[in-house]
Amino acid sequence: MVLPKDKPGRLWSTLDTGITGSGMTVGSFYPTVWIGSERRGLLWWADSDKGWVQDDAVPAHEAIRKDGTMMLVNNVVAKPVGAGHCCPPYGGCMSS
C-alpha cells in the first residue's frame, strides 16, 4: 500500500485489513509491520501477541502522520485491564 505523501492523520491501520487479514480471532495484531520506501524504512516485529490486550475496535498497529512526522503506533493495551495483568510484550525494531 502506498501512503499519501502530505496527508496528516491516520494513513493506515490494521483495521483496514481486519481480523481476517491478521488471522486473529480477536484484534488485528500483525507479527511484522514495515513502513518505508526504497531509500529508508522501519521494520517492527514480534514473535506473538503475548502480553497484548486486543480489541476488535482498536487497531493493533497504525501509521499516523502528525506535524510532518510519520509514526508507527502499536496499541499494546487496547482496553482497560486489571492490575494483575503483567506480561510484557516482546518485539523489536530495525531501521533501514
Residue 3 is assigned to a structural domain of this protein: no
Core vs surface per residue 47-73: b (16+ CB within 10 A) or e: eebeebbbbeebbbbbbebeeeeeebe
- Domain count across the chain: 1
Residue 2 is assigned to a structural domain of this protein: no
Residue 44 is assigned to a structural domain of this protein: yes
Residue 78 is assigned to a structural domain of this protein: yes
Residue 1 is assigned to a structural domain of this protein: no
> Which pLDDT belongs to residue 86?
67
User: How far is the C-alpha of 72 from the C-alpha of 74, rounded, in Å?
Assistant: 7
Q: H-helix or E-strand containing 74?
A: strand 69-74
Please report, as a single letter, which amino acid is at residue 78: A
The percent helix, strand, coil of the chain (3-state, each to 5) is 10, 35, 55
> Which pLDDT belongs to residue 6?
84
> Which pLDDT belongs to residue 51?
83
Q: Could you tell me the three cell numbers for 37? A: 520506501
> Which pLDDT belongs to residue 22?
62
State whether the Cα torsion 12-15-17-21 is positive or negative. Answer: positive
Q: In which residue are the cell numbers 520506501 written?
A: 37
Provide the domain limits for residue 30: 9-95
Residue 91 is assigned to a structural domain of this protein: yes
pTM > 0.85: no
Residue 29 is assigned to a structural domain of this protein: yes
Question: Which residues in the chain land under pLDDT 70?
Answer: 18-23, 86-87
> Which pLDDT belongs to residue 72?
94
Residue 59 is assigned to a structural domain of this protein: yes
